[in-house]
Structure 1
Amino acid sequence: MRKQQLKLMTYNKEKQASITVYLTLILLLVVAILCTVVESARINGARGIGKSALTASVDSFYSLYQRELYDTYRIFGYNLNGESGKTAQEQIIEEISTYMEDNLKGIELDTMEVSNIAMLTDYEGEIFLNQVLSFMKYSALGEVIKEVLEKLNLYESSEDTSEVMEKKLATQESLGELSKDMLKLMSQVEGVDTDENGVRVTKAGTIKVKNTFAKRIVAKAPSMQALGINKEIIYNSLSNKYFNISLALQNSIEYCDKAVASNKEIERLKKQKEKLEKEKSELEETIANQSKQSKKGDPEDGNTKDEEGASSSETAEEKQLKEVEAVLTTVSASIQEENKSRDKYITLLKDIREDICDASINTGLRIEDALNTISRIEGKSKEIAKEVDGYEEVVEGKKDKIGEELYKEFQEDIVDMKEYIGMQDNSDSLSTSSVISMRPTLIENEKILGEIYTKSSYSITKESESLEGWKKVLQSNKDLLVGYQVSTLRFDYSTLVIEPEIDSPVDHIYSLFTDGILSLVVDDINSISDGSIKGENLPSLLASVEPEESGADCESILEGCKDNQYNSDITNSFALDNSFVNDLVEQLLLNQYQMDFFNEFTQCDTQKADNNSKLNEENAANSKETSSETKAGDVQAKTLQYELEYIISGHKTDKENLGSVATKLILLRTLMNFVYVYTDKEKNATAYATAAALVGFTCLAPLVTLIKTVILFVWAMVEALVDTYALLDGRSVPLFKSKSTFKVTYNDLISMSKKNIAGLASKYPKDQGKIGEFTYSNYLRLFLIMNGTRKNCYRSMDIIQMNMQKVLGDGFYLSNCIFGMEVQAYMKLPEQFITFPFMKRILGETEGYYSFRVRAIDAY
């Protein structure tokens, strides 16, 4: 029993010891958990403190934005000083670490990383644009934006007219080129000397003509009727150039007959000569025999008397011999004369044959040229027919938008074009259909002349047989001419008027541009700023934003229009770019910011100019000191003054930028003015009369119309010079002209000078302009909006940087101004409550510290 009690007591003691150990283990585990929780809470708290400290430090860093930049342009940016030997990241880390040291509360900063640094000039100008938009959306812009939109809508209303006008001028240009082929054909067929502008006339007022042409060979006596010429001056100018091949062939036949007759006479005379020579020989022999017999038959003593008697008288034979010799001499002379006559006729035959061959081959060549030109005209007319259809389609599509008056004018153009290229009946004898109908006649004539030339290779000799053979060839060639005709190769000269040479207004206007555009549209050329870009690290250069490309300008257009030449730039000038309607709200806000903060040429008040250099009074001392160090006074004298003009054009000097904007103004005003002069009946009639006088006649309607267009365009450009002068003088000009607002008359056009331009410009009002009127600032707004957001942003930053360098020194660059970044800080917290290795590993302890990372992404 006692043993059992002892065993029971021993068992209970062992059981109590196990419970104690168990409870101890539980207590240790609870303590470990509590310590872990506490340590984890410490780590999380430290992470929160670190996050707050980093955020506060980054905010403190951002608070040191470039105050002068904000005060002047309302743009935030932290300007890195660019300390030598330190990267941007090192400078940022140094600044932020300084702020964090007093805020970590027992937490240690291990390392820091800065990434994704965004400068003001990054992201294609979007950062700068967003800051501008953030500022401008709180500005009171309602009325301003409303006015701008009204003027933009008014400008956009010209798009439909411009589209039709561009298509019209392109089609008209093609027709003008076709007319030039017509002129070439006229020269090749008729022999009238022409160039691309019409009939060429000498200083004496006579028409210049060609030596070879398709109608040079005629089969009848030349006359106006036989040649199909309806103008006496044309016939008179060409009358000594025609080659009457029928007459030449007939003369050749006659010469053949005469040469054959000469041969017959020569043959008869030769026979007569032979007979005479025989008779002479016989008489000489008889006389010789008589002389011998006389000497033998008489005595020697009685000879003296008989000999003396005989010597005193001639025998009958001797007298006959003399007569025969005289006749023989005459016959020989006659033979010689007949030989000369025959040879002369043969020479004439050969000369005429040579003339016929030369005329045939040269005329054949001109016919070949004419046929090629006709083929070209035919091909072009088919292509132009498609253009005319396209032009008509555009006109019909814009019928309700271009106005009844313009629609009517365009419809009349279409009818004239269709008639000219044979798309419908044409009363004008000179059209593509009329010249194409010349082809069969020219082909037949070429064939006939070719056969005549081939047969003319016949060899002509002195023999009658050869001459008779040549006569048959001549008669055959003459028979060929039955099918030869030129009267159907007709051109209409009924409207040809040869007047004393008149001067084209184009040449006079071109001469005005000798000293450049600005000399014509600015009152005092010497008053233009000589400012230029300073520095090489401009935002636009770093972003590869190129200056405005030099496109068509007034001088190049007028250069191409000299000598009445149509210039394709005229057509291209009507290609309006209205793509600015995309993202218009953003563009308008940016546009208004630029108008508020940047200077331009016509600015009269100083408030806007002060925006570029003013600073708060508290910065005056620092600004003065900095300016002294960097000689800002010298810099200011050289930097750009026409800032909006620079944003538009991007050139290096004020003069270049103002000149570029002036050119844009002139070309845009030329377009608007042309729309008016094109519909003004009086101005059209005047320009048409001048064009007709320059061409010489009106049967080539497209060519006359083309030159009329050149004159109207130049007229509109001179009016644009007046408009631009007025705009640069602070005046307002109607966007669309009327009879009362159009200033330049035709007499002004041919005697224009800068004094005239200034006088006419002074008639415009000097005010801000109504809805239908535009001021210089309105056009700058338009050009800025059309310029595109990227160019505007970067060139605006160029101006800001250059102006801030006047205050902050040459070392200030917007590319060094921080807008935003990402900062990561690696921190460590000393261990305190946990000594268990496995728990330390779970909590991330390393060498007595717990490590963690905090991140801040922020921007202005």
Structure 2
Amino acid sequence: MRKSGQVTVFFSLALLCIFSLMCGLLESARTAGSRSYLKLAADSAMDSVFSRYHREAWEKYRLFLLECESDDEVEKAWKGFVKPYMDSSGWYSMDMEKADTVGIFRITDGGGQYLKQEILDYMKYGIFENMTDEKGAEDLLKNLKEARAVKRLSGSFRDNEREAVRLERALEDINDSLKQQKAYWRAAYERIEDYDGPGFRREADRLEREMNRIPSLIKTYGKRADDLKNSINETNNGLSAAQEELSEEVREALSGDTSCYGSYVNQDGERRREIEALPGQMEQMKEVMEQAKERSFEVESIIDNWDNDDEEDDGPDLSELWGSVGEIWDEANIPSLSYSNGVKDTEKQRLLEQVEGFIQTGLLSLVLPDGKEISKGILSDDSFPSVTCGEGQVLEAGLMDRILFGEYCNRFLTSFLSEEDKEVKYELEYLVSGKKTDEENLKQTVLDVLMIREGMNLIHILSDGQKREEAMALAGLITGSVGLAPLTGIVAFFIMSIWALGEAIVDVKMLLEGKKVVFLKSRDTWRLSLDGLLELGRTGTCAGGKEDENGIGYTGYLKLLLFLGEPGQQHYRLMDMIQMNLCRKQADFHMVHCVYQAEVRATVRSRHMFFGGNNPFYPVEVRTEKAY
């Protein structure tokens, strides 16, 4: 019986299909597994690379920094960590063909955004007391900007006041010249009464020389009047531009207390017309004076040529002859101005101006606690990140990010009040000021704190009717009872601004002594009287006051300055401080070598288990990235 092979062939073909399907499934599973294994290996290797962070940077600043001078170091380290995975790939059968770092982001890149992110990642686990929220941060920023704007405007108005005082002094010079002319006129008239022709002409010549000074004095007066007018216009433009930064109450107070500047300029226009008429009057007087001098020569000639032969003749009538000279001289009326200068108590004015002079000449010596030495640290280093990477960089940071940055810096950096013995001590001050020495940084920071306090103090004075009345009373003493009302208002505002400055000096002295000062002043927390202000100008010394328990300390005001500053600039300066301090143990440490994020792309060669023909190998690509 002949057997048929159809069933055998059928089953053989079926088994072949089944085995092919099973092998394909196995190959597909192995390929998928190899990709998963490769991804796991790549990520694990990258984790191992980033686990080699700089230990001292973490211990001192709680920052993860991977120190690598070149991109090749990351690639080489990654290959080293991934090699054991390749050697143990077993079933997956992998060999590394190539690997490249395609994205390296260093901590100095991005305008400081990577350092900011690390700080925020660390600070989100912090516990803070009395920390403001987003709304509070907005209000704080508004108050700080308002204080800065008020300080800027008060400085401009103070400059205007000084120009007004110089204008008054120019007017005083003109009045003094006119008074001197009257004195020479009277002296010449006395010589006429004494029948002294040469003496009369000497006094007349002195009078003429004094009259010749008038055009120069008027020119000086006109220049100062023009300078004042232009300066007030610029200040008013600045006041208009700052409207958005000022609250409605402060805007109204400033507008009311500074309106006197415009009134003064308008009133000075009438006064200036009277002053500019003086040269014409002087010319008329000179003509009369020449006639009087000519007549004096005629009188002397008559007397000298008188014929004394007649014994009954008593000689010439000297009274009548010289009286004719006096009649002509009487026509030379010395003009007088209907306006007098408005600064009568120049001593008090000088003392007030002296207070502001301390800011330029000896502020640190005025506010430093007794026995406290200024650090001599120097920060000049051309390798600082702020020098090599920070130029022109801009970093956007939210209000809460700025507050957290300030809290971070307060935790890890030193300041004037710190007790640590370091070569460079004023690290927080450097973040604020960015100068090359500790002394310069402290001086600039003190000026910036003074700016905040002066602005806030003036805001309080503008809202306190009693202090405004005291300032107006002192202004009345300075300008005198005959002083121009607008000038009295100008001097009153000057006194208020100097008073705010004097109180700010006391505030800063307290802060440097380690005491607290409230942000918003009240009558109870105000310390400096007007008498104390004048004494400050006289002696150049001041004493701190009682500490405000609910106030803000020195480092708190430094955090306010950081809050106001440019974030990118501050982040690079922070890198400067980190680099400088870590270099004490590792001289070649540079922040620019520190990696924050890296990406590696690699290609490995894997082998087909069941298929492949003449080319059983195939490439597998992998991408891995890591950031702290």
TM-score (norm 1): 0.54
- 8 Å Cα contact 1:133-1:586 kept in structure 2: yes
Q: Deviations over 1:737-794 (max 9, x none)?
A: 3333222334544555999855x42x224x4x2xxx3232321220121222213322
Secondary structure of the structure 1 residue equivalent to 2:266: coil
- 8 Å Cα contact 2:112-2:395 kept in structure 1: no
Match of 1:99 among 69, 74, 81: 81
Q: Does residue 248 of structure 2 align to residue 401 of structure 1? A: yes
> Once the 2 structures are TM-superposed, how far is the Cα of residue 683 of structure 1 from its aligned partner?
6.0
Q: Does residue 95 of structure 2 align to residue 145 of structure 1? A: no
Match of 1:443 in 2: 280
- 8 Å Cα contact 1:645-1:657 kept in structure 2: yes
Match of 1:764 among 547, 559, 572: 547
Match of 1:646 among 414, 427, 430: 430
Match of 1:187 in 2: 173
Q: Deviations over 1:472-509 (max 9, x none)?
A: xxxxx99999997654643337x886899997365589
- 8 Å Cα contact 2:460-2:521 kept in structure 1: yes
- 8 Å Cα contact 1:367-1:442 kept in structure 2: yes
- 8 Å Cα contact 2:367-2:508 kept in structure 1: no
| Unaligned ranges ≥5, structure 2 | 1-15, 306-324
- 8 Å Cα contact 2:188-2:203 kept in structure 1: no
Give the Cα–Cα distance (whole angstroms) in 2 for the partners of residues 481 and 149 of structure 1.
80
Match of 1:788 in 2: 566
Secondary structure of the structure 2 residue equivalent to 1:145: coil
Match of 1:422 among 266, 277, 280: 266
Amino acid at match of 2:139: N
Secondary structure of the structure 1 residue equivalent to 2:340: coil
Give the Cα–Cα distance (whole angstroms) in 2 for the partners of residues 103 and 688 of structure 1.
85
Match of 1:136 in 2: 123
Match of 2:183 among 217, 220, 240: 240
Match of 2:156 in 1: 170
Q: Does residue 335 of structure 2 align to residue 490 of structure 1? A: no
Q: Deviations over 1:120-151 (max 9, x none)?
A: 222221111112222333444585234x9648
- 8 Å Cα contact 2:43-2:624 kept in structure 1: yes
Match of 1:525 among 372, 375, 399: 372
Secondary structure of the structure 1 residue equivalent to 2:272: helix
Amino acid at match of 2:118: Q
What does 1:216-255 align with in structure 2 at a 5 Å threshold?
239-242=182-185
Amino acid at match of 1:443: G
Q: Deviations over 1:669-726 (max 9, x none)?
A: 2333344456667766776677677778853666666666665555444433332233
- 8 Å Cα contact 2:432-2:570 kept in structure 1: yes
What does 1:73-472 align with in structure 2 at a 5 Å threshold?
73-80=61-68, 88-104=70-86, 105=89, 106-141=93-128, 143-146=130-133, 150=136, 153=139, 156-157=142-143, 159-160=145-146, 163=149, 166-167=152-153, 170-171=156-157, 173-174=159-160, 176-188=162-174, 190=175, 192=176, 213=177, 215=178, 239-242=182-185, 362=209, 365-369=212-216, 372=219, 376=223, 383=230, 401-402=248-249, 407=252, 410-411=255-256, 413-414=258-259, 416-422=260-266, 431-440=268-277, 442-443=279-280, 445-446=282-283, 449=286
Amino acid at match of 2:47: D
If asked which structure has higher relative contact order (CA below 8 Å, sep 6+), I would say 2
Amino acid at match of 2:183: N
- 8 Å Cα contact 2:395-2:568 kept in structure 1: no
Give the Cα–Cα distance (whole angstroms) in 1 for the partners of residues 329 and 301 of structure 2.
27
Distance 1:454 1:661, change over 3 A: same
Give the Cα–Cα distance (whole angstroms) in 2 for the partners of residues 178 and 510 of structure 1.
18
Distance 1:853 1:455, change over 3 A: farther
- 8 Å Cα contact 2:378-2:436 kept in structure 1: yes
Sequence identity percentage:
21
Match of 1:587 among 386, 399, 402: 402
- 8 Å Cα contact 2:378-2:424 kept in structure 1: yes
- 8 Å Cα contact 2:107-2:594 kept in structure 1: yes
Match of 1:665 in 2: 449
Secondary structure of the structure 2 residue equivalent to 1:809: coil
Q: Deviations over 1:368-409 (max 9, x none)?
A: 446645755775676578569769978999997326xx9468
Q: Deviations over 1:644-663 (max 9, x none)?
A: 33332344555554444333
Give the Cα–Cα distance (whole angstroms) in 1 for the partners of residues 74 and 246 of structure 2.
65
Give the Cα–Cα distance (whole angstroms) in 2 for the partners of residues 43 and 383 of structure 1.
82
| Unaligned ranges ≥5, structure 1 | 1-27, 83-87, 193-212, 216-234, 256-344, 424-430, 468-476, 547-578, 605-635
- 8 Å Cα contact 2:424-2:438 kept in structure 1: yes
Q: Deviations over 1:340-384 (max 9, x none)?
A: xxxxx9xx69x9889878866x56744544664575577567657
Amino acid at match of 1:153: D
Q: Deviations over 1:234-253 (max 9, x none)?
A: x5x654323899999x99xx
Give the Cα–Cα distance (whole angstroms) in 2 for the partners of residues 365 and 824 of structure 1.
90
- 8 Å Cα contact 1:534-1:638 kept in structure 2: no
Give the Cα–Cα distance (whole angstroms) in 2 for the partners of residues 484 and 103 of structure 1.
115
Give the Cα–Cα distance (whole angstroms) in 2 for the partners of residues 727 and 382 of structure 1.
39
Q: CA RMSD in A?
A: 5.6
- 8 Å Cα contact 2:608-2:618 kept in structure 1: yes
Q: Deviations over 1:442-477 (max 9, x none)?
A: 43653674798799999x99999xx9xxxxxxxxx9
Q: Does residue 529 of structure 2 align to residue 745 of structure 1? A: yes
Give the Cα–Cα distance (whole angstroms) in 2 for the partners of residues 39 and 369 of structure 1.
106
Distance 1:158 1:450, change over 3 A: farther
Q: Which structure: larger Rg?
A: 1
What does 1:12-91 align with in structure 2 at a 5 Å threshold?
49-80=37-68, 88-91=70-73
> Once the 2 structures are TM-superposed, how far is the Cα of residue 95 of structure 1 from its aligned partner?
1.9
Match of 1:568 in 2: none
Q: Deviations over 1:11-51 (max 9, x none)?
A: xxxxxxxxxxxxxxxxx9xx999999999997776555544
Give the Cα–Cα distance (whole angstroms) in 2 for the partners of residues 98 and 118 of structure 1.
21
> Once the 2 structures are TM-superposed, how far is the Cα of residue 433 of structure 1 from its aligned partner?
0.8
Match of 2:316 in 1: none
Distance 1:238 1:501, change over 3 A: farther
Give the Cα–Cα distance (whole angstroms) in 2 for the partners of residues 856 and 499 of structure 1.
77
Secondary structure of the structure 2 residue equivalent to 1:587: helix
- 8 Å Cα contact 2:188-2:201 kept in structure 1: no
- 8 Å Cα contact 2:167-2:225 kept in structure 1: no
Match of 1:776 among 554, 559, 562: 554
> Once the 2 structures are TM-superposed, how far is the Cα of residue 61 of structure 1 from its aligned partner?
1.7
Match of 1:300 in 2: none
Secondary structure of the structure 1 residue equivalent to 2:576: helix
Q: Deviations over 1:497-538 (max 9, x none)?
A: 689999736558968998761673325414x66666597644
Give the Cα–Cα distance (whole angstroms) in 2 for the partners of residues 386 and 796 of structure 1.
41
Give the Cα–Cα distance (whole angstroms) in 2 for the partners of residues 580 and 114 of structure 1.
26
- 8 Å Cα contact 1:531-1:641 kept in structure 2: yes
- 8 Å Cα contact 1:545-1:794 kept in structure 2: no
Match of 2:605 in 1: 828
- 8 Å Cα contact 1:120-1:817 kept in structure 2: yes
Distance 1:511 1:131, change over 3 A: closer
Give the Cα–Cα distance (whole angstroms) in 1 for the partners of residues 186 and 539 of structure 2.
56
Match of 1:813 in 2: 590
Match of 1:539 in 2: 385
Secondary structure of the structure 1 residue equivalent to 2:450: helix
Secondary structure of the structure 1 residue equivalent to 2:511: helix
Give the Cα–Cα distance (whole angstroms) in 1 for the partners of residues 171 and 72 of structure 2.
80
Amino acid at match of 1:490: S
- 8 Å Cα contact 2:181-2:334 kept in structure 1: no
Secondary structure of the structure 2 residue equivalent to 1:110: strand
Amino acid at match of 1:817: C
